[in-house]
Amino acid sequence: MVLLPVVYLSLMQFILQKTALCSCVFPAILDPTHGFSSVPLNNSNFLLQKPYNIPAHERYSFVDGVHRFSVYNTDKPHTPGGTTRPRTEFRITGYDYTSGVWQFEGYGYVPNGTTGVAIMQVFGGKTLSTTLQFRVYNGSLTYYTSPVLEENIYDRWFRANVIHDVGAATVMAYIDGVLKYQGPDHGNDTHYFKIGVYTQHNESHYMESRWKDIKILRK
Ligand SMILES: *[C@@H]1O[C@H](CO)[C@@H](O)[C@H](O)[C@H]1NC(C)=O
Ligand SMILES: *[C@@H]1O[C@H](CO)[C@@H](O)[C@H](O)[C@H]1NC(C)=O
Ligand SMILES: *[C@@H]1O[C@H](CO)[C@@H](O)[C@H](O)[C@H]1NC(C)=O
Ligand SMILES: *[C@@H]1O[C@H](CO)[C@@H](O)[C@H](O)[C@H]1NC(C)=O
Ligand SMILES: *[C@@H]1O[C@H](CO)[C@@H](O)[C@H](O)[C@H]1NC(C)=O
């Protein structure tokens, strides 16, 4: 009889601990940025690559915190004499890496009609020139041409987190906080992140992506 309050107290403590676990530790594990620190970024870290013969303002704008990139499949490459397909992209500078664990975070938006285009890249690799590409085909977000990571991607903001662990040679992609892809990288090289529009296959005449709240994080 005398012991009952003690049992009751222990039970309450147990319940409280469990509640604390559920409301605090669990969401932290789910957030892909947990354990990472973001590095400082300003305009000097965003190098714009756009059709070389066209003024930047015709293919890129920055309004209310939103970077808007567009390109036509008939545009010229970003360098005179270049042979790559048309692009309007930020090449993120200042944080090129050859080792470590790095993460890109950004909120992306692709308007209906844009297809056949890469909208985010982890540049550099040994067996391919890139470690990862997010592309859009027919309204789906894909890792290269497959697999599909997320359907119905048009006309809405989505959160993208990409983690590249060079030592483990792996890459992970989260859409809206959910792990959608995990696989091997394409070998060691100097790496950096790119966002925008880079023409691929079966593309629309006009391609556009928008990005905001861009962060680079590292462990
Ligand atoms: C932007 O960042 C660069 C490199 O980190 C730094 O040297 C520069 O002072 C910064 N510029 C501004 C305006 O904060
Ligand atoms: C790639 O680079 C990382 C970091 O320097 C290193 O740990 C790893 O052994 C390298 N992998 C290969 C296959 O060279
Ligand atoms: C995209 O536009 C096409 C043509 O106007 C329309 O048929 C389709 O329903 C639209 N898709 C979405 C997801 O809004
Ligand atoms: C996208 O749609 C086009 C035209 O219907 C088709 O040729 C192409 O194979 C599709 N691509 C993918 C990746 O589904
Ligand atoms: C491009 O379209 C052709 C013809 O419809 C199709 O065979 C091919 O798979 C498509 N490629 C991609 C990457 O969608």
Distance 138 CA to ligand 5 centre (A): 11
Q: What is the pLDDT of residue 21?
A: 45
Q: What residue ranges do the domains of the chain occupy? A: 30-218
Distance 188 CA to ligand 2 centre (A): 6
- The arithmetic mean of pLDDT across residues 184-212, rounded, is 98
Measure Cα distances from 116 to 90, 186, 205 in Å.
Answer: 18, 22, 10
Distance 111 CA to ligand 2 centre (A): 39
Q: What is the pLDDT of residue 30?
A: 73
CATH of segment(s) 30-218: 2.60.120.200
For 62, the enclosing helix (H) or strand (E) is strand 60-63
Q: Is 214 exposed, middle or buried (0-12, 13-18, 19+ CB in 10 A)?
A: buried
Distance 111 CA to ligand 3 centre (A): 10
- Ligand at minimal distance from the CA of 136 is 4
Read off the pLDDT of residues 38-90 as tens digits, 9 standing for 90 and up.
Answer: 999 999 999 999 999 999 999 999 999 999 999 999 999 999 999 999 999 99
Contacts of 52 (CB under 8 A, 6+ apart): 76, 77, 78, 79, 80, 82
Task: Please indicate whether residue 138, judged by its CB atom, sits closer than 6 Å to ligand 4.
Answer: yes
What number does the ligand 5 atom closest to the CA of 145 have? 13
Task: Please indicate whether residue 167, judged by its CB atom, sits closer than 6 Å to ligand 2.
Answer: yes
Only one residue has tokens 């909120």, namely 107
On the question of pLDDT at 99 being above 90, the answer is: yes
**How many angstroms separate the CA atoms of 124 and 195, rounded?**
14
Read off the pLDDT of residues 2-16 as tens digits, 9 standing for 90 and up.
Answer: 445 444 445 445 444
pLDDT confidence tier of residue 113, bands split at 50, 70 and 90:
very high
Q: Whose CA is nearest to atom 9 of ligand 3?
A: 112
Task: Please indicate whether residue 69, judged by its CB atom, sits closer than 6 Å to ligand 4.
Answer: no
Q: Whose CA is nearest to atom 12 of ligand 1?
A: 42
Sign of the four-CA dihedral 152, 155, 156, 158: positive
The pLDDT > 70 percentage for the chain reads 87
